[in-house]
A and B are shown apart, each in its own frame.
Chain A
Amino acid sequence: MNSSNQQTLKSAALFERMEALLKNHGADIAKKVQCVFLFEIKPAKNQAPVYFTLDLKNGEGRIMRGKVGQVDVTFSILDEDMILMAAGKLSPQTAFTQGKLKLKGNVSMAMRFSTDILPKDAKL
């Protein structure tokens, strides 16, 4: 994986921050969601994507860099749109219908994803 990509990826910190949530509440979420999501995030169009695997199926759930294990659904999205989606300024449905969010894999499982579990930024 390209490490310089990861540094410029704005949404990387969002995924990293999920560790704290999963530690305390992951088992509960995993029980409800039962799905492994792969996020394919492009820093910009025509740039190589960076991958994050969000396992909300096993145990307490896990967030990992890169593509890890068997994946149920893949979301492809631009870095900046991922930030908007996490902030609640772009709903997954709108992103999907506008072609900003692409799905691969089990579509009905994709619907189990909620931006509720992404950390919200604190405000200045």
Chain B
Amino acid sequence: MEKPLVEVEVEESKTQDKVNEEVRATSNSMIEVLSKSTNPKHRNSKFLKFLKKLAHGAYGIENEALVKNPEKLEEFRNMEGERLKEEVVRQAEEKKASGEERQKMFERMWNGEEEIDEQLFQEMMGQWEQEGQDQDEELRGQLGGPFGSQWQSQVPEIIKDVIPFEPKNTYLDDTLTDRLTLAKELIDTGRAQEAIVCLQAEVQKNAENAEAWRLMGQLYQENDQDEYAIIAFKKAYEIDPYDLDSLLCLGISCTNELEQKDAINHLFHWLKYHPDFNHLVAAIPESADNVELDMVRAAYLEAHALKPKDSHVALALGVLAFIQRNFPDAARFFEDGIRENPTDHTLWNKYGAAMANSQNIPAALKIYHQALDLRPNYVRTMANIGLAYRSQGEYMQSMPYLLNALLLNPQATHIWSYIRSSCLQMNRLDLLEKVEQRDPNLFRGDFPQLIDPARMPKQNLDRLYENEIWNK
């Protein structure tokens, strides 16, 4: 049940065409780099020729084996002949060669044209990998390591507009009556992934259960999956437009996804539908598509003055400051929220995030650990701790936290890119091989700190009042 839910479908739909499309795209960008090289060795390398054939479709890759397309190959040879003539002219001019020498040069290049067989193919694939570590000054900068790789390939846009539901959901069983209560019990016993699946069953049976959608959204948010959280919160909000909690949560997730206008708009509506505060935004027109952050912020400050002990108002003010990237202010508001609601792990995580973004990593780490004390399986905080270490170049320390986040939530696949990057920065190619296999368990030998998701510690309140926040 705790296996990745998304990956399967994606893999199956990735057709052969798509693979070859990717091969062609990658080949094309490498060809671009190599053909522009000032070194004739690069311009005419076997490797470049191989790439060109791939890009042209003369060869394709099917089931990881090489296949030939004779028509395309012939077409390619004719084109290549033209290019070779130009290349000869270019080199001849560089070397000031005579007419006869030019003819010989051309023949040599033309005859150098060879069929690609399986052995040569393997050789070339090996070279593909090796180009990345080429010591050649010019190529190294363009193809090497983490640097330059971003310029070669377009990052595929992954659109996550539907929550992938668990296909074989045992919670759909009709003998189950109260899935919502069951989900809450699962959360309390630290089984958040299981709770998500249970809530998926509930909304399949009762699509109008706003609370189930909202709870699912909160779990996705804590699981470091804001895209799905936004979908779930929007469902809850559609069913119940006055659901204040969903509006506040939408404000948070949209901020994380850098959808600031949406975030401000949701926070505006939170005030608008709040019986205690709606008079504060009466002057802001309802129809406004783009509510000004300053106006919303001013209204929240009034709300804060009216009810200084309302931790939701403090939270919203913190989020607004976060949007403005005024992280010290955000930290102060989250602190206010924690004073009123000290056992809310999500407030501690937000407080830590504000501290980390305002360059105070040691304080942030301490605060994040408070959040983990309260919620030991809090995936978002684990990922945040990983990012905090990474932000000061402590890649080794970042690894166990990032891997633990993935052990708890294998669906948070974006975390693999941080791990990959950490391995590259550390020059740990041995670990990089394991990264490709996408199984955090493979790292258990390297990092004894890795957890067992089935055996998570219980909530620990011992250190709750040790934080400096209580001395202020």
Contacts and interface: CB of A to CB of B under 8 A. Distances in A.
Given A25-B393, A84-B258, A115-B150, A122 B387 contact: yes
Contacts of B153: 93
A16 B364 CA distance: 17
A84 B146 CA distance: 19
Nearest to B330: A124
B327 A120 contact: no
A63 to B, nearest CB: 12
Interface stretch (B136-144, B159-167, B460-468): B136-144
A13 B425 contact: no
Nearest to B420: A116
Interface stretch (B59-67, B98-106, B286-294, B347-355): B347-355
A92 B154 CA distance: 9
A64 interface: no
B417 A119 contact: no
B335 to A, nearest CB: 14
Main secondary structure of the interface of A (DSSP, over half): helix
A110 B33 CA distance: 13
B224 A123 contact: yes
A13 B327 contact: yes
B151 interface: yes
Contacts, number: 119
B147 A32 contact: yes
A122 B148 contact: no
Contacts of B393: 20-26
Contacts of B391: 17, 20-21, 119-120
Contacts of A124: 252, 255-256, 319, 322, 349-350, 353
B147 A112 contact: yes
A25 B395 CA distance: 9
A111 interface: yes
A123 B146 contact: no
Interface in B196-255: 224, 226, 252, 255
A116 B138 contact: no
Task: Give chain A's interface residue range (CB within 8 Å of chain B).
Answer: 35 or more
A70 B424 CA distance: 28
Given A13-B327, A25-B393, A114-B147, A94 B357 contact: no
Contact of A17 (B150, B359, B395): B359
A121 B142 contact: no
Contacts of B224: 123
Given A89-B258, A109-B141, A123-B353, A20 B359 contact: yes
B357 A92 contact: no
A107 B258 CA distance: 30
Given A93-B151, A111-B142, A113-B147, A120 B387 contact: yes
29 contacts: A10-B325, A13-B357, A13-B359, A23-B393, A25-B393, A25-B395, A29-B425, A34-B141, A87-B258, A91-B150, A108-B141, A111-B141, A111-B142, A111-B148, A113-B147, A114-B148, A114-B150, A116-B421, A120-B418, A121-B353, A121-B387, A122-B354, A122-B387, A122-B388, A123-B224, A123-B226, A124-B255, A124-B319, A124-B349
Interface of A: 10, 13, 16-17, 19-26, 28-29, 32-35, 83-84, 87-89, 91-94, 96, 108-116, 119-124
Interface of B: 138, 141-142, 144-155, 224, 226, 252, 255-256, 258, 319, 322, 325, 327, 349-350, 352-354, 356-359, 361, 364, 380, 383-384, 387-388, 390-395, 417-418, 421, 424-425
